[in-house]
């Protein structure tokens, strides 16, 4: 007897949060095709786990005797819609990640376990209103005994109420509501009845657009009912946000939802505030990983139910179910934070474009320094044929505001005061005298990137990573009980500063190089009367600090801001006229082929903070390589010119966007284990590609950081001019790796890696 | 062992680990026998002190005469010039 031929009642195929590319069959009496996309609790081994129903059948290829029944289908938790499942399937296939794990990672944490129905129920506020039949109904015609029903109807005639309010104020309301619902006189809903907004907020508050902005908004508006990808290339301060706001207004006016993705959690409150001011009556959900679990669930449910008309969030928001999705915006689309670096290593920007095609809606990618991939796609030449439509905002939106003057200072030609040259110090002094603000940018947190023994050059290293420990100053550096600590920026390990050199025993361990803390201290020493504020990941760790510093800076209560790239994006400080850049050269020594692209973007972003509101801005970049072509392009603020140079180089080298890459990352605890496995993996890949060609398998190499958190790291890069050819290799390669690589090594495929 | 006058001392600082450190300049003057005759000896030299010694020395006013005990080391890995590391001291008069 073949079990597959015999009908054994409904069998559901469930994707579970396990690292396997398969669904699991369970018996589910009463299950129908309606249940596809629904969460279910199932027994799995000795424990219970949650999964997503992907199929319902009447047969199973397994022996029916072995099938276990599902514990519960969680029908009170909303199901994934077919379109959402399609997106998840794409992510699983493209990024080579098990579908069950993709599905579970896309759920808010509160829905990932069997307590999900409780979490959902706790959030639901049921709103009760009269149905049309109830409005026409005369309460007096109810039987005299139905006191509660009558009182409920009378209350609802005044105004809609929440179920909870009725139950509290009217004895017997719970029973009465049940009866009234059955009679069709009241309707209960999870959404508050909409009270029409008397004022058309969007049109009354929108400022006038400059011509380039109008063209962009019009093009997006004209394409609201079809899939089309736009690259909105607007210089810093050119008013990209206004284009977003007006496009969103047009999308909302058509009765559809808008999804806006932003790179940084720290930027979300600011942009969220702008949207709230512009769309005061519109329900907006804000999704990011720092949101409290309950809030995140609430916003996610609101988006899925279609109540939230605007969804704003970081990369994780890209998979938020939205039944009426009509526009996707990806702000700062070049930002590396859109690519997840662990688990499902997806690019939220690319997922957004795919999602636009599923939802048949436009996708707007905005940036002052687009990624080379997006830029290439927007070139109307034979190679990419303008797959994206380029919308350009070539000038600043505020009348009279010009791009700042950018100058490169040769730091080898000036005496340095703790890394600050005379030109920069003089410029800072001038701004203080004029009561204008300055920003000093250095992309290194901590006090100094290393400590070095003055006698023998020994440097403390992290035992678990192939990296030096970074010296962080304590709160009160001159108190011997608060001297500071050493931090590893790779694995997070911290330890006390050693009193003596680990090699020669000398006590003279000196800070080497500088980070934000040291620059802050130097500036405070140079300008004792100035109000200096530092913002980096350490300063922002305490809740609310970043918001407070941004608010103080915007209010003019800070004279000099010191910080990392956290300061470089999306902030408008009207009085800021000087930007100084220290240690930009560090990025020049990176072996990563995208390092120049990232440095250019970073410099343009940070330079863009100066002179946004009409006061002329100045940017001083200290470097030891003043003639480098990258700096020439930054000074000219010529992104298209820079992009052309890079694009040509990449074409010659066969690198993205002219090739597709995937990187196998292998980690092992025992010395040499990772490298050995990586070599084996490369051999396996070669065996698979021999017949097919077109895919180049590089030799196994140690990773740029050869050891991290106690794991040795190796990698194998595979490269192909054809994305299709590359992807034909990935699935079979992953299958043989799963079978062949030793179990104690960890490995992951990174498709379209950000760093190689 | 050397008798000298502290002619200047920096402000007390701390190493990254929080150990107090003090840099000073010492001046020595004496009469020493040289080939059978007394000769006037005078020189200035840099010195360092760490820990408790550094904190105590920071209290001593420049101009005071002090007896020092310690050892010599090169200044740092870029300079072989000697520097006195003070391990003990006693103020005279």
Between the CA atoms of A333, A337, A341 and A346, what dihedral angle is there, to the nearest 10 degrees? -30
Average pLDDT (A688-698) is 81
Q: Which residues of A touch B18 (CB under 8 A)?
A: 479-484, 497
Does A469 reside within a domain? no
Task: Report the residue of B17, B46, B82 to disrupt the A interface, i.e. the one with the largest count of A CBs within 10 Å.
Answer: B17
In the block, residue with structure tokens 């436009």: A362
Structurally, chain A folds into a number of domains equal to: 5
Q: Token pair 């997503």 is at which residue?
A: A52
Are A456 and A578 spatial neighbours (Cβ–Cβ below 8 Å)?
no
* A577 plus A434 within the same structural domain: yes
* Cα-to-chain-centroid distance, residue A407: 33
Domain boundary among A622, A649, A676: A649
pLDDT digits (tens, 9 = 90+) for B70-90: 999 999 999 999 999 999 999
Question: What value does the mean pLDDT take over residues A59-84?
Answer: 87
Q: Give the pLDDT band (50/70/90) at residue B93.
A: low
Range of the domain at A184: 126-190
Percentage above 70 pLDDT, chain A: 95
In a domain, A256, yes or no: yes
Q: Which whole number is the average pLDDT over A561-565? A: 91
Average pLDDT over residues A646-657: 93
Residues A261 and A210 in one domain: yes
pLDDT in the model for residue A6: 60
Residue A291 in any domain: the answer is yes
Given CB atoms, is B36 within the 8 Å cutoff of chain A? no
d(CA B85, CA B79): 15
**A508 reaches B (C-beta below 8 A):** yes
Query: Are A136 and A164 found together in one domain?
Result: yes
Is residue A562 in a domain? Answer: yes
Tell me the average pLDDT across A292-304. 88
How many contacts does A have with B, using Cβ atoms within 8 A?
Answer: 48
Going by C-alpha positions, the residue among A206, A192, A138, A127 that lies closest to residue A162 is A127
Is residue A255 one of the residues assigned to a domain?
yes
| Nearest-angstrom CA–CA distance, A668 and A643 | 38
A378 lies in the same domain as A418? no
Return the pLDDT at A480. 54
Q: Do A623 and A714 lie in a common domain?
A: no
CATH number at residue A667: 3.30.70.600
Domain end: A104, A121, A138, which one?
A121
Nearest to A250 by CA among A83, A331, A364: A364
- Residues A504-519 have pLDDT tens digits of 999 999 999 999 999 9
- For residue A204, pLDDT over 70 is answered with no
Tens of pLDDT, residues A420-473: 999 999 999 999 999 999 999 999 999 999 999 999 999 999 999 999 999 998
Alpha-carbon gap, residue A610 to A349, rounded angstroms:
28
Question: Structural domains in chain B?
Answer: 2-91 (2.40.50.140)
Q: Is the pLDDT of residue A24 over 50?
A: yes
Residue A505 placed within a domain: no
Answer yes or no: do A568 and A527 share one domain. Answer: yes
Which residues does chain B have within 8 Å of residue A456's beta carbon, measured at their own beta carbons?
Answer: 77
Q: Across the interface, do B74 and A482 touch by the CB < 8 Å criterion?
A: no
Strands A362-367 and A228-234: parallel
Helix or strand or coil: residue A326?
strand
Of A142, A167, A190, the domain-final residue: A190
Is the pLDDT at A193 greater than 60, yes or no? no
Rounded to the nearest integer, the mean pLDDT of chain A is 89
A199 pLDDT exceeds 80?
Answer: no
Cβ(A562)–Cβ(A442) below 8 Å? yes
Residue closest to A321 by CA, chosen among A105, A79, A99, A50:
A79
Q: What is the pTM of this model?
A: 0.85
Spatial CB neighbours of B9, under 8 Å, sequence gap ≥ 6:
B22, B23, B24, B25, B57, B58, B60, B62
CATH number at residue A586: 3.40.50.300
What are the beta bridge partners of residue A188?
A128
* Inside any domain, residue A221: yes
Angle at A625 between CA A621 and CA A628, to 5 degrees: 95
Q: Are residues A116 and A131 in the same domain?
A: no
Average pLDDT over residues A676-697: 88
Same domain, A29 and A66: yes
State whether A381 and A233 are in the same domain: yes
Nearest-Cα distance to chain B for A472, in Å, is 9
Contact A403, A616 (CB under 8 A): no
Inter-chain touch A480–B14, beta carbons under 8 Å: yes
- Give yes or no: residues A117 and A184 share one domain: no
- CA nearest A363: which of A247, A514, A281? A247
Terminal-to-terminal C-alpha distance of chain B? 17
Same domain, A588 and A638: yes
Residue A692 has pLDDT above 70, yes or no: no
Band of pLDDT at residue A648, cut at 50, 70 and 90? very high
Q: Does residue A480 lie within any of the structural domains? A: no
Residues A697 and A665 occupy one common structural domain: yes
* Contact indicator for A298, A123 with CB cutoff of 8 Å: yes
User: Alpha-carbon torsion A689, A693, A698, A699, what sign?
Assistant: positive
Minimal C-alpha gap between A491 and chain B (Å): 22
Rounded average pLDDT over A613-641: 90
What pLDDT does A477 receive? 53
The structure tokens listed for A578 are: 């000087």
DSSP β-bridge partners for residue B40: B31
Name residue, tokens 């023994």: A453
Considering only CB atoms, B16 lies closest to which of A471, A478, A481, namely A471
Query: What six digits make up the tokens of A734?
Result: 């992953």
How far apart CA A63 and CA A171 sit, in angstroms, is 55
């Amino acid at each position: 007897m073949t079990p597959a031929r015999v009908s054994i009642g409904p069998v559901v195929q469930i994707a579970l949060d396990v690292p396997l590319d398969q669904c699991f069959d369970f018996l589910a009496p009463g299950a129908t095709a309606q249940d596809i996309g629904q969460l279910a609790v199932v027994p799995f081994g000795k424990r219970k786990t949650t999964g997503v129903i992907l199929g319902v059948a009447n047969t199973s290829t397994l022996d029916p005797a072995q099938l276990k029944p599902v514990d519960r289908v969680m029908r009170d938790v909303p199901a994934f819609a077919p379109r959402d499942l399609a997106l998840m399937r794409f992510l699983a296939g493209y990024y080579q990640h098990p579908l069950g794990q993709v599905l579970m990672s896309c759920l808010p944490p509160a829905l990932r376990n069997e307590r999900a129905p409780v979490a959902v129920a706790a959030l639901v506020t049921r709103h009760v209103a009269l149905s049309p039949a109830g409005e026409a109904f005369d309460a007096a015609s109810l039987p005299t005994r139905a006191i509660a029903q009558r009182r409920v109807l009378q209350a609802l005639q005044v105004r809609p109420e929440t179920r909870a309010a009725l139950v509290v104020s009217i004895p017997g309301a719970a029973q009465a509501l049940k009866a009234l619902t059955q009679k069709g006189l009241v309707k209960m809903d999870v959404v508050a009845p909409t009270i029409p907004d008397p004022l058309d907020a969007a049109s009354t508050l929108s400022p006038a657009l400059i011509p380039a902005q109008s063209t962009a908004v019009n093009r997006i508006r004209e394409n609201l009912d079809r899939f089309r990808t736009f690259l909105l290339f607007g210089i810093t301060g050119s008013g990209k946000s206004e284009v977003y706001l007006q496009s969103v207004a047009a999308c909302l006016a058509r009765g559809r939802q808008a999804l806006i993705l932003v790179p940084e959690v720290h930027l979300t409150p600011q942009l969220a505030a702008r949207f709230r001011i512009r769309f005061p009556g519109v329900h907006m959900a804000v999704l990011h990983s720092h949101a409290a679990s309950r809030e995140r669930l609430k916003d996610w449910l609101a988006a899925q139910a279609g109540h939230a008309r605007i969804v704003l969030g970081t990369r994780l928001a890209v998979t938020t179910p939205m039944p009426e999705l009509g526009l996707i915006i990806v702000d700062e689309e070049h930002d590396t934070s859109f690519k997840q670096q662990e688990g499902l290593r997806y690019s939220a920007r690319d997922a957004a474009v795919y999602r636009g095609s599923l939802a048949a809606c436009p996708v707007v990618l905005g940036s002052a320094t687009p990624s080379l991939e997006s830029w290439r796609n927007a070139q109307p030449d034979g190679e990419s044929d303008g797959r994206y439509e380029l919308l350009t905002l070539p000038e600043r939106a505020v009348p009279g505001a010009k791009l700042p003057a950018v100058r490169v200072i040769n730091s080898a030609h000036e005496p340095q005061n703790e890394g600050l040259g005379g030109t920069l110090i003089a410029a800072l002094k001038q701004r203080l005298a004029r009561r204008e603000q300055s920003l000093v940018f250095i992309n290194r947190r901590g006090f100094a990137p290393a400590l070095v023994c003055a006698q023998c050059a020994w440097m403390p290293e992290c035992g678990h990573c192939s990296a030096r420990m970074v010296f962080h100053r304590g709160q009160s550096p001159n108190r011997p009980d608060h001297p500071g600590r050493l931090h590893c920026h790779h694995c997070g390990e911290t330890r006390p500063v050693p009193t003596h050199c680990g090699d020669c025993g000398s006590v003279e361990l000196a800070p080497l190089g500088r980070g934000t803390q040291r620059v802050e201290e130097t500036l405070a020493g140079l300008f004792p009367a100035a109000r200096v504020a530092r913002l980096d990941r350490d300063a922002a760790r305490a809740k609310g600090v970043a918001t407070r510093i941004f608010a103080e800076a915007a209010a003019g209560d800070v004279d000099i801001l010191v910080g990392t790239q956290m300061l470089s994006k999306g902030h408008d400080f009207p009085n800021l006229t000087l930007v100084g850049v220290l240690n930009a050269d560090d990025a020049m020594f990176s072996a990563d082929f995208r390092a120049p692209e990232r440095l250019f973007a970073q410099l343009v972003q940070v330079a863009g903070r100066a002179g946004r509101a009409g006061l002329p801005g100045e940017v001083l970049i200290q470097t030891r390589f003043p003639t480098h072509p990258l700096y020439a392009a930054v000074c000219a603020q010529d992104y298209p010119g820079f992009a052309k140079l890079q694009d040509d180089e990449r074409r010659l080298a066969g690198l993205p966007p002219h090739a597709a890459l995937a990187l196998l990352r292998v980690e092992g605890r025992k010395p040499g284990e990772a490298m050995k496995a990586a070599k084996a993996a490369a051999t396996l890949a070669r065996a698979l590609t021999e017949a097919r060609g077109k895919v180049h398998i590089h030799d196994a190499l140690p990773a740029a950081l050869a050891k991290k958190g106690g794991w040795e790291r190796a990698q194998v890069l595979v490269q192909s001019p054809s994305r299709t050819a590359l992807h034909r290799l990935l699935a079979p390669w992953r299958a043989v790796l799963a079978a062949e690589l030793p179990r104690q090594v960890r490995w992951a495929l990174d498709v379209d890696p950000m760093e190689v | 062992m050397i008798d000298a006058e502290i002619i200047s001392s920096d402000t007390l600082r701390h190493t990254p680990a929080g150990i107090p450190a003090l840099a000073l300049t010492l001046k020595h003057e004496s009469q020493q026998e040289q080939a059978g005759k007394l000769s006037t000896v005078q020189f200035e030299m840099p010195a360092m002190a760490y820990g408790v010694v550094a904190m105590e020395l920071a209290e001593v006013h420049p101009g005071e005469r002090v007896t020092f005990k310690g050892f010599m080391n090169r200044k740092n890995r870029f300079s072989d010039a000697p520097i006195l590391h003070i391990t003990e001291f006693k103020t005279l008069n």
